[in-house]
Chain A
Amino acid sequence: MNKESGMYVDLTTDDKSKGWFAQSENRYAAAIIALVSIGSIWALSQDMRWLYLLVYVWFGVAYGMFLQYGRFCMASAVRDLFAVGVPRMAVGIMIAVCLYSLVAAFVKVSGFNAFHPHPLGWHIIIGGLIFGFGIVFTGGCATGSLYKAGEGNMGSVVVIFAISFSQAIFVVLGGWFDKLAPASWTESALNKGMPAELSVDQGWFDLFTAGYIWDLKGATLADMLQVTNPFVASFLTNSLLVTILPAAVILVLLYTFYFRKGHMRRQKLEQPVMKDHLRGIWAMITSSKNTAIAGIGLGAFAGLHVWVTGLLRDHYGIFNFGEMLANMGHTAGLSIQDTVFDPGYWYITTQEAQWGAWVMETMGMNMRDNIFFGLDNGVPNPLINAPGFMSIGIILGAAVLALLRREFKFKIPSLETAVFALIGGILMGIGARIAMGCNIGAYFATVSNGDPSGWLFLLGMVGGGYVGVKLFNWWIHWQASRSDDFAL
């Protein structure tokens, strides 16, 4: 919170003189940390190799804390620009991607970066559009829903359910939906020589994956330009050209269109010179200090996460957590290649799809006759789903910080909020699968690793957000016109 713009005063009534531990919120927060710690120690005492999974858990807790600290709502980054003209979160995200890209470049140079570029195609923009439209109605992106659930927001729990199941159902849909895929996809998919048990010619998502996505190419900018020097490739090409320059351009645009006028007016500047504009950009970046600090922390930790997982993979001699699970004897949830979803960096939506798929499989449905689960990601039990624990870590980390800051509150959504959460969550799930990730997996992680496809996702998300805001505005107008609360 900016000092110049008013003050923030804590009037919560619990007895601060009672001592830290006597305050119930502090006790709950300590209990959560103790629970995660004891669980970690117990897992390690069973098998030291669970360390690999615990890295996800604790990075999740750290993400959750930073997200809650900065009220880091990525949905509002695209939404608030159009809805109310506030660039706060867009600025926060630009800070985070810049930091992430610098750390990721460093990790890349040291040789432990497991990032895979995304295939470049129209699907990224289309998925981004659907995703961006959905987040306006859920009031939070996929990550945002996790940390808001940690703040006690039950509406966000509905969103998580909706994302999980809509994705799981979406990737196994067959029958009539296969007609959505053009014949060329079917032909191309059948040429891939996939095992018969995956039945790639059935299920529209299989046709989409094998017949369309696999024929596309994706690469980091350094690979496209065939830069071989690791330092030049990571820092000067990927980080500077793909992340930092576009982010700087976006910051200048945000300032020009959303902040400049107000800044000039506040500072009473008639004829601003360059120096005034630079000061203005700085004022915009620091206008919400919590957001800026969270951006720095998230960027740094996301980069560190890539490094730590890379180190562990090297140490255990594995490429994928599935190999380790197979060695430990947990083969039930693995794909036919003995792999599970294991990105090695911050990712949200795929593990939620696995939760949904696991529940559906437990109820007796066949979730493995497709590429998404059967060949690539598997359907592991949530108890051994490493990225899944990262999501749970985010919820718990956010809960700890929300409790300590007295911001935790159980909130039951109104019917309208719940319906919006459900519909928005379903759209987010569909969008995330088409674009192969959410705003974390398809945008945040890609652009900061030198893969320009993330900017396409952002473009789609901004477009979807714009349409969503128009519709939401119309809805509020219509609703207000029916009630006589206030003539809006």
Chain B
Amino acid sequence: MKQLATLWRKWRQRKHADVVNHKPHMVKLPGGEVVQVSHVADCMGATCPRPQLMTMRILDAMKKGDVLEIISDNPTTVETIPALAMVLYSQHLATLHTDNGWCIYIRKDD
């Protein structure tokens, strides 16, 4: 019973996994281009439409030329983000499929 209670508490405290941090870091894209990531949307574990809404709002707050990194393990999100970038006048730079999920890079063009 006590273990169950601990499990419940742990589960309740699970993050919605949409913590956004501003730690800029450099990333080497598959084409060889190195870009500086200015914003990160960590959408690990989140299902649609949360990652899309996060992406929209963060892009809104970004400046032209900034690069956003979206981390997700939801395949549907990965398929939608490039299409989303098109309507948001941004450029989808690359999608990297890693063991844990995907990292998607978007540059704000306008």
Residues on A facing B (Cβ under 8 Å) = 1-2, 5-13, 68, 70-71, 73, 75-76, 79-80, 83-89, 136, 139-140, 148, 151, 153, 155, 258-259, 262, 265-266, 287-288, 290-291, 402, 406-407, 409, 411-417, 469, 472-473, 476, 479, 485-486, 488
Contacts and interface: CB of A to CB of B under 8 A. Distances in A.
Nearest to A486: B20
Contacts of B100: 409
B33 to A, nearest CB: 11
A11 B16 contact: no
Nearest to A152: B73
B25 interface: no
Contact of A1 (B45, B84, B95): B95
B45 A7 contact: no
B27 interface: no
Contact of B16 (A9, A409, A411, A416): A416
B19 A485 contact: yes
Nearest to B97: A10
18 contacts: A6-B94, A6-B105, A7-B95, A9-B30, A11-B96, A12-B98, A76-B80, A83-B49, A88-B83, A140-B76, A259-B86, A262-B89, A265-B89, A287-B83, A288-B79, A413-B45, A415-B12, A476-B50
Contacts of B101: 409
Interface string B65-93: 00000000111101110111111010111
B57 interface: yes
Interface string B13-44: 01111111000000000110000000000000
Nearest to A409: B73
Nearest to B11: A415
A265 B47 CA distance: 31
A57 B30 CA distance: 41
A406 B99 CA distance: 8
Nearest to A415: B12
A155 B47 contact: yes
Given A1-B95, A266-B86, A469 B49 contact: yes
Nearest to B93: A6
Contacts of B85: 5
Interface in B47-66: 47-50, 52-53, 55-58
Contacts of A83: 49, 52-53
A139 B51 CA distance: 11
A9 B93 CA distance: 11
B54 to A, nearest CB: 8
A136 B49 contact: yes
A280 to B, nearest CB: 11
Given A9-B94, A12-B99, A486-B58, A73 B87 contact: no
Nearest 9 A-B pairs (CB), nearest first? A6-B92, A139-B47, A71-B79, A486-B20, A88-B83, A5-B92, A414-B14, A71-B76, A9-B30
A259 B95 contact: no
Contacts of B80: 71, 76, 80, 84, 86, 88-89
Given A8-B97, A288-B79, 17 more contacts: A11-B96, A12-B99, A68-B75, A79-B49, A80-B52, A83-B49, A86-B52, A86-B80, A140-B76, A151-B75, A262-B86, A266-B86, A414-B15, A414-B17, A415-B11, A415-B14, A416-B16
B50 to A, nearest CB: 7
A476 B48 CA distance: 12
B87 A414 contact: no
The CB with the most chain B CB atoms within 10 A, among A11, A13, A87, A89, is that of A11
A417 B15 CA distance: 11
Nearest to B83: A88
A71 B56 contact: no
Contacts of A485: 18-20
Given A9-B97, A12-B99, A290 B87 contact: no
